[in-house]
Amino acid sequence: MNPPSLDRRLLMERSVRGRRGSSLPPLDVPPQPLPPEEHLRGDLELPEVSEGEVVRYFTHLSQLNFSVDTHFYPLGSCTMKYNPRVNDELAQLPGFSQLHPLQPEETVQGALKAMYRLQGFLAEIVGMEATSLATMAGAQGELAGMLMLRAYHLSRGEADRRIVLVPDSAHGTNPASATMAGFRVVTVPSDDRGNMDMDALKGACTGELAGLMLTLPNTLGLFETNILEICRTVHQVGGLVYGDGANMNALLGRAKLGELGFDVLHLNLHKTFSTPHGGGGPGAGPVAAGPLLAPFLPSPVVERHVDGDGRERYSLATPEHTIGKVAAFHGNFGVALRAYAYIRSLGAAGLREVSENAVIGANYLLSQLKEEYHLPYDRPCMHEVVFSARRQKARGVRALDIAKRLIDYGIHPPTMYFPLIVEEALMVEPTETESKETLDHFIQVMKAIAVEARENPQVVKEAPHHTPNSRLDEARAARRPDLRWRGVGQAAPSGV
Ligand SMILES: *Cc1c(COP(=O)(O)O)cnc(C)c1O
């Protein structure tokens, strides 16, 4: 007998008539009649399987996926790092997780206090005056920030400030957010070192300027070395500077954006502060603002009061010139709690260590791999490094092929084809929580793939070889998923 290949039968195909997956306890409520006959279907096919079979089936399915818990996951810009379990546990304490958002304030003082403190910690970390936790994603933070910029200029009677400058090394959500807020986006090119082109910036700074949106570090993984001059130049013509701080793990404890000249920014708690970014789960993109824009923050924010008898009390408040609500209630509270626990457990010294490890890890990869992979901007990077598969492409092996080949080696692919200004980009973010052994393994694998690309390109171009499915039409799989089981002879409904 040959060893069996992977058991790929679907649950329906494992069904055996009469087999049961659960035994219900005796009824402890009065029995209720079934719905009327015409609502019942006698022909509904359901899998009849044992509990063990169900567990085995779904556990196996879950293991076909890549996750930070099972694989190295260097997906650039996404910070797929290890997040301590204790922060999840804290967020799940019943005193937090069982709250209702409409409960009277006096019954949720502890929760409000945690939010208040987190607002303060985040403002301190980035050098701003005030924070709103209301926004539920990085991109939503950007939109809120842009609406604040607009409200600010309108409040000063400067409705003609309609232009927002966005460097070509910004995150793709930046121009989209500025456009959604009603601005006209003008792109500022990068120079050959990966910084913003200062002449182009100066040329674009006119009386029509509302502001600049700048990702720091930029999507090349580089720190804008002219940042002080950039902020000054924009301020000189009455514009404001928005900072995309989604990748703050590069700067924690090192640089405060408020002190560099930024007026408003967002953070991604679901990257830097202990909630994973992948998987489409809940996120939080708090907005922090300096003195000019703090009155415009989205509502609510949490305020602290001290009563006459010295007792402290917390309440939800509305900033004076708020842009209003951007989401239901007050943001993703569970994500905020994880961030609160993360900051409290690391402390100031721990946060500094995060950025140190993030930056050293990325520079280690840069130094070890730049022989094999073209490095478009040859200078020290921040928390991530962008290579180009330009040399490999000359042999017909593209960034996509290298990414797919990594799957065969048990490594999640890096971000590909982004940033757009790098040909065949491979954007690698090792994150601060990976060991040197893991990074060494990755280096070894990337070097092996570079050799394959030279000597046996076909093996890379046809990868992955060890997964149940190889190359999918990913757009079609996402837009027209085929999720319904059909028995033999049952055709798919037309159009699917
Ligand atoms: C992830 C990211 C965003 C967008 O955050 P979402 O929560 O996915 O909307 C914006 N800017 C940068 C630099 C990012 O890395």
CA distance 387 to 74: 13
Give the C-alpha separation, 54 to 72, whole Å.
28
Q: What is the pLDDT averaged over residues 47-76?
A: 92
Q: Is the pLDDT of residue 406 over 70?
A: yes
Q: Which residue puts its alpha carbon closest to atom 4 of ligand 1?
A: 138
Cα separation of 127 and 135, whole Å? 19
- Identify the CATH number of the domain in which residue 182 sits: 3.40.640.10
Instruction: Find the length of the chain.
Output: 496
pLDDT in tens, 9-51: 888 899 999 998 888 899 999 999 999 999 998 877 889 999 9
Indicate the DSSP class of residue 376.
S
Examine residue 487 and state whether it is found in any structural domain, yes or no.
no
Distance 139 CA to ligand 1 centre (A): 6
**Same domain, yes or no: 285 and 195:** yes
**Which atom in ligand 1 lies closest to the alpha carbon of residue 285?**
7
Q: Tell me the average pLDDT across 350-356.
A: 98
pLDDT, mean of residues 265-287:
90
Last residue of one domain, picked from the residues 346, 379, 396: 346
Which residue's CA is minimally distant from atom 8 of ligand 1?
Answer: 138
pLDDT given for residue 482 in this prediction: 83
Range of the domain at 5: 1-20+45-58
CB atoms within 10 A of CB 278: 16
What is the share, in percent, of the chain residues with pLDDT greater than 90? 85
Q: Do residue 335 and residue 358 come from a single domain?
A: no
Ligand 1 center–CA 174 separation, angstroms = 9
pLDDT at residue 492 tops 60: no
Q: Residue 343's CB: how many other CB atoms inside 10 A?
A: 22
Which residues, listed in sequence order, are joined to residue 184 by a DSSP beta bridge?
Answer: 163
Residue 61 pLDDT exceeds 90: no
Q: Would you say residue 472 has pLDDT above 90? A: no
Number of the ligand 1 atom closest to the C-alpha atom of 140: 9
Q: Which residue's structure tokens are 């004076």?
A: 320
Q: Are residues 320 and 363 in the same domain?
A: no
Is 31 inside a domain boundary?
no
User: What does the DSSP 8-state code read for residue 277?
Assistant: S
pLDDT band at 495 (very low <50, low <70, confident <90, very high): very low
Binding pocket residue ranges, ligand 1, CB within 6 Å: 77, 137-139, 171, 173, 215, 244, 246-247, 268, 283, 285
Q: Are residues 229 and 327 in the same domain?
A: yes
Residue nearest atom 14 in ligand 1 by C-alpha distance: 246
Are residues 375 and 411 located together in one domain of the fold?
Answer: yes
For ligand 1, atom 15: residue with the closest CA = 77
Question: Are 436 and 467 part of one and the same domain?
Answer: yes
Question: 397 and 262: one domain?
Answer: no
Q: Mutation test of ligand 1: which of 244, 249, 267 has the most ligand atoms closer than 8 Å to its C-beta?
A: 244
Same domain, 313 and 176: yes
In a domain, 491, yes or no: no
For the chain, how many structural domains are there in total? 3
pLDDT of residue 316: 97
| Assigned domain for 493 exists | no
User: Is pTM beyond 0.75 here?
Assistant: yes
Return the pLDDT at 4.
59
Q: 101-132 pLDDT, tens per residue?
A: 999 999 999 999 999 999 999 999 999 999 99
pLDDT of 353 higher than 80: yes
The reply to whether 287 and 364 lie within a common domain is no
Centroid of ligand 1 to alpha carbon of 138 (angstroms): 5
Provide CB contacts within 8 A for 187, sequence distance 6+: 165, 166, 167, 168, 175
**Residue 280 banded pLDDT, cuts 50, 70, 90:** low
**Positive or negative: CA dihedral 27, 29, 34, 40:** negative
Instruction: Using the 3D structure, point to which of 306, 330, 346 is the last residue of a domain.
Output: 346
Nearest CA owner, ligand 1 atom 10: 138
Chain centroid offset of residue 491 CA: 39
